[in-house]
Amino acid sequence: MSKTVKVSEILEFANEQLSRKDEEATQEFKAGVCSMIQKILFLSNNYEGFQFLPWLEGGYERWVKAGQPEDETKDDFVHNGKNDFYSRYYYKSSKL
């Protein structure tokens, strides 16, 4: 028996999981979610990229206030160093 699921529903669920901040939503857990959703999006020709959540949630504004450094400290604004590397938001294709 097989069932078809909507890519947009899986994408929504993945983005919810990647935005979690509880102790069970580790970077390892989120890395698995990223791997899964990227594969689904690429195979269905719906990959439109992603953005790091810390950047979207104020990192950009903090970076501008800090003078827009382009050295390795930019990572602190983009994804809190390596602490939130897999906290991401995947964009939805207009085809979905």
* Average pLDDT for the chain: 93
How confident is the model at residue 29, as a pLDDT? 97
pLDDT at 27 over 90: yes
Residue 34: phi and psi, rounded to 5, are -60, -45
Domain span holding position 79 = 7-90
Q: Is residue 48 part of a domain?
A: yes
For the entire predicted model, the pTM comes to 0.88
Residue type, position 19, single letter: S
Q: Is residue 1 part of a domain?
A: no
pLDDT tens digits for range 51-87: 999 999 999 999 999 999 988 888 888 888 777 899 9
Average pLDDT over residues 10-18: 98
If pLDDT is split at 50, 70 and 90, which confidence band does 48 have? very high
How many domains does one find in the chain? Answer: 1
How confident is the model at residue 1, as a pLDDT? 81
33's CB contacts (< 8 A; 6+ apart) are 14, 17, 18, 86
Rounded distance, CA 20 to CA 17, Å?
5
Q: Is residue 27 part of a domain?
A: yes
